[in-house]
Amino acid sequence: VLLDLIVDVVVDVLVVLLVEVEDVVVDVLVVLLVELLEVVVVLLLELTVVVLVDVLVVLLVVLELVLIVVVVLELVLIVVVVVDEVVIDVVVVDFVVVVEVVCQSTLGTVMFT
């Protein structure tokens, strides 16, 4: 009977110790999991920020390239307009000279006859 009582007390003490150890282990595991989650979230946020910055840099480069293309197109347009004006002026001047020559020669022919 005494042995049964000692065994019962030892078993009860072991159960209490196991329950306490289980609580401590669970608490430690929860704290570790929370810390790990914090680290993972911070890393993900940092990676997200790095990726966002990279995306913004790429967008800026693309916008700069578009701006360069627009400037080049504007320069081409200016050259085309200037060349067009010069060509039109030359053609109009040549046409006026031809008309004057034709009129003078016609008038000269009419005057001589």
Burial class, 107, CB count within 10 angstroms (exposed 0-12 / middle 13-18 / buried 19+): exposed
Please state, in angstroms and as integers, the Cα–Cα distance from residue 83 to each residue in 22, 25, 95, 101, following that order: 90, 86, 18, 27
Tens-place pLDDT, residues 8-30: 888 888 888 888 888 888 889 99
CA 84 to the chain's CA centroid: 39
Is residue 101 predicted with pLDDT exceeding 90?
A: no
Q: How far apart are CA 18 and CA 26, in angstroms?
A: 12
Query: Residue 111: which pLDDT band, with cuts at 50, 70 and 90?
Result: low
Q: Is pLDDT at 108 greater than 70 in this prediction?
A: no
Q: What is the pLDDT of residues 32-86, one digit of tens each?
A: 999 999 999 999 999 999 899 999 999 999 999 999 999 999 998 888 888 877 7
